[in-house]
Amino acid sequence: MMFTAVRGTKDYLPNETEYFRYIEDTAKRIFSIYGYKEIRTPIFEATELYLRSTGEATEVVTKQMYTFTDKKGRSLTLRPEGTPSVVRAYIEHKIYAQKPLVKFYYIGPMFRYERPQAGRLRQHTQIGVEAFGSASASLDAEIIAVFFALAKELKLNNFILVLNSVGCEKDSCQARYKKALKDYLADKIENLCNDCKERFLRNPLRILDCKNPICAPYIADSPKITDFLCSECSEHFDSLKEYLDKLNISYQLNHLLVRGLDYYTKTVFEFIYLGSGFGTQNAIGGGGRYDNLVASLGGPNIPAIGFSIGLERLYLALQNEQIKLPGENSFLVFIADRNEEKGVENYDRSSVLAFAEHMRMHGIPTELDHRKETSLSAKLKLANQLGATYAIILNADNFRIKEGLAESDAVCIVKDMRSGKQEEVPISQIVNYFLAHKTGK
Ligand code: HAM
C-alpha cells in the first residue's frame, strides 16, 4: 500500500517552502514595524471555546471542525481559526492588566473540514494579527494599512479591499437589521436554497454570504445593513473611511459582506484577489472588529480588531502574478575530494569531513559527497545537481585542520561551476577566498 497525503492536505517541497519563508519573514518584519509581537498558542483547544466565540450556528462550527475526545473524555478541537485562542490567552494571562494596548501576530496551521478545491484546504496556514484595547476607527485604518504595507513589500497589487459594517448590539442596530432582513425574506423563503432556509431560522445574516445562484436575486435586493446602523456605528464607519482616504487606501463598499464568523461588530473587511484561478476562494485575507468577544469569553470589556491572511492563497496569488523571490542566495561550495590513492574500499573521509566543518564554521555553505564509491566526475555531477556555485577539487591527504585553521602548503583547484573556469588557491587561503566570493567582493 502506498501512503499519500490525506485529502485536503498538502506537502510543500523546498521550492515552495522557500517562498513561504520569504512571505513569513516579510510579514514578521512589517508586523514588527507596526508594533505587533508574536504569540504562539496550542493548535487544539476546548471545543466549547469555538462554540462560544466563532459561533454555534456558523458553518465553521457546525460543519467544519475536527473535533475529538481525548482519553479523559474531554472534547477538543483542532483550531479552525486563530482569533479565539489569542483572545483566550489574552484573558488567561491577564495581559490587559499589563498594557492598555496590545498587538499580537501569529503564523500557524488551521484545520477546517471543507470540500477541497483550488485555494481551499483542510489544513491551511494563517498569518494573523490581533490588536486589543482601542475602539477607535484609527486602529481599524492602521490594521488595514498593515496589510497594504505587506502587499506593497511583496509587490502584490492585484487585489481590492472590500469593506462593510455589521453594526453592534448596542441600541440593537444589528438586531433591527436582522429583523428587517427576515421581514423582507419572509415571503421568499420557499425560493431560497435549503441552507438558507436553515440560516433564516438560526442566523439570517449568513444568508447574505450564500453563493448559491438561486438565492442571488433575493440577496441582491435585500435591505442594506448600513441603513440600520446606530449613530455610534455609523460615525465609526464614517471616520474609518476618512482615515483610509487620508492614507490613500482605496476600498469598495459591499453591504453583503458579513463574514462567516459570529463575533464581529462594526467594521468587517476582506482582501479580494482579482486575478484568475481562484474561483470563489478569492479572499486572501479577512477580518474585522470584535468589541464584545473578550467580555463574552469572561474577560473585561475590551474592544479589539484583527485579520488573517491565508498563506497558501497569498502564495498562489504571488505565483499567479509571477512575482519572483528577490535575490535568492544559493551560494554553495562542494568539496570534490580525490581518493584514488587510498582506493575506494577503505577510504578515510575524516580529513575532508573536518575540512567541510572548517568551512561551515566560517559561515560558508559547504557540501561533500558521502557516497562510498564515486569518481571525481560523479562528484562534480552531484555538485551540479545540488546547484553548487563552486567546487573544490583536492587531494584529501594534503592538508590538516589545526585550531580552526587550515594548515597546509598544498594548493587545491577551485572550479567556478557556472563558467567552468578553474584556478589554483592555496588551502590556507581558501576560507578567505570564499568569504570574499560569497559577499561578491
Ligand atoms: P477567515 O476569513 O475565516 O477569518 O480566514 C482568514 C483567511 O484564511 C481567509 O481569507 C483565507 O485566505 C484563509 N482560509 C480560510 N479557510 C481556508 C481554507 N479552507 N483553505 C485555505 N485558506 C483558507 C478568520 O479565520 C478570522 N480568525 C480572521 C480574523 C482575525 N478576524 C479577526 N481577527
Q: Position of cell 486563530?
A: 82
User: What separation in Å is there between the alpha carbon of 131 and the centre of ligand 1?
Assistant: 17
pLDDT score for 402: 61
* Short-list 164, 131, 125, 165, CA closest to 145: 131
pLDDT score for 140: 98
The rounded radius of gyration (Å) of the Cα atoms in the chain is 29
pLDDT score for 53: 97
pLDDT score for 169: 83
Predicted TM-score (pTM) of the model is: 0.92
Q: Is 45 in the pocket of ligand 1 (CB under 6 A)?
A: no
> Cα(227)–Cα(395) distance, rounded to whole angstroms?
82
Among protein residues, the one with the nearest Cα to ligand 1's atom 10 is 285
pLDDT score for 431: 92
112 Cα nearest atom in ligand 1 = 19
Strand 390-395 versus strand 411-416 pairing type = antiparallel
Q: Is 80 in the pocket of ligand 1 (CB under 6 A)?
A: no
Q: Is 312 in the pocket of ligand 1 (CB under 6 A)?
A: yes
Contact 340, 395 (CB under 8 A): no
64 Cα nearest atom in ligand 1 = 19
User: What separation in Å is there between the alpha carbon of 339 and the centre of ligand 1?
Assistant: 56
Torsion of CA 332, 26, 101, 128, to 10 degrees: -110
User: What separation in Å is there between the alpha carbon of 231 and the centre of ligand 1?
Assistant: 30
> Cα(33)–Cα(12) distance, rounded to whole angstroms?
29
Among protein residues, the one with the nearest Cα to ligand 1's atom 11 is 310
User: What separation in Å is there between the alpha carbon of 110 and the centre of ligand 1?
Assistant: 9
User: What separation in Å is there between the alpha carbon of 70 and the centre of ligand 1?
Assistant: 27
Ligand 1 mutation pick, 262, 305, 313, max ligand atoms within 8 A of CB: 313
User: What separation in Å is there between the alpha carbon of 261 and the centre of ligand 1?
Assistant: 10
Q: Is 167 in the pocket of ligand 1 (CB under 6 A)?
A: no
* Short-list 2, 117, 98, 93, CA closest to 39: 93
> Cα(53)–Cα(185) distance, rounded to whole angstroms?
27
Q: What is the pLDDT of residues 227-259, one digit of tens each?
A: 999 999 999 999 999 999 999 999 999 999 999
Among protein residues, the one with the nearest Cα to ligand 1's atom 18 is 120
Q: Is 310 in the pocket of ligand 1 (CB under 6 A)?
A: yes
Whole-number percent of the chain with pLDDT over 70: 93
122 Cα nearest atom in ligand 1 = 19
Q: Is 103 in the pocket of ligand 1 (CB under 6 A)?
A: no
What sign does the CA torsion over 247, 252, 258, 260 have?
negative
> Cα(400)–Cα(406) distance, rounded to whole angstroms?
6
Return the HEC string of the chain.
CCCCCCCCCCCCCHHHHHHHHHHHHHHHHHHHHCCCEECCCCCEEEHHHHHHHHHCCCHHHHHCCEEEECCCCCEEEECCCCHHHHHHHHHHCCHHHCCCCEEEEEEEEEECCCCCECCECCEEEEEEEEEECCCCHHHHHHHHHHHHHHHHHHCCCCEEEEEEECCCCHHHHHHHHHHHHHHHHCCCHHHCCHHHHHHHHHCHHHHHHCCCCCCHHHHHCCCCHHHHCCHHHHHHHHHHHHHHHHCCCCCEECCCCCCCCCCCCCEEEEEEECCCCCCCCCEEEEEEECCCHHHHCCCCCCCEEEEEEEHHHHHHHHHHCCCCCCCCCCCCEEEEEECCCCCCCCCCCHHHHHHHHHHHHCCCCEEECCCCCCCHHHHHHHHHHCCCCEEEEEECCCCEEECCEEECCCEEEEEECCCCCEEEEEHHHHHHHHHHHHCCC
pLDDT score for 128: 98
User: What separation in Å is there between the alpha carbon of 96 and the centre of ligand 1?
Assistant: 25
pLDDT score for 400: 63
Q: Is 288 in the pocket of ligand 1 (CB under 6 A)?
A: yes
User: What separation in Å is there between the alpha carbon of 382 and the centre of ligand 1?
Assistant: 42
User: What separation in Å is there between the alpha carbon of 124 and the centre of ligand 1?
Assistant: 9
pLDDT score for 211: 83
Q: Helix 430-438 and helix 350-361: axis angle, to 10°?
A: 40
Q: Is 81 in the pocket of ligand 1 (CB under 6 A)?
A: yes
259 Cα nearest atom in ligand 1 = 2
pLDDT score for 351: 80
270 Cα nearest atom in ligand 1 = 10
* Short-list 369, 392, 387, CA closest to 330: 387
What parts of the chain have a pLDDT lower than 50?
none
Contact 66, 113 (CB under 8 A): yes
Q: Is 128 in the pocket of ligand 1 (CB under 6 A)?
A: yes
pLDDT score for 308: 98
User: What separation in Å is there between the alpha carbon of 102 and the centre of ligand 1?
Assistant: 22
Q: Is 130 in the pocket of ligand 1 (CB under 6 A)?
A: yes
Among protein residues, the one with the nearest Cα to ligand 1's atom 2 is 286
80 Cα nearest atom in ligand 1 = 25
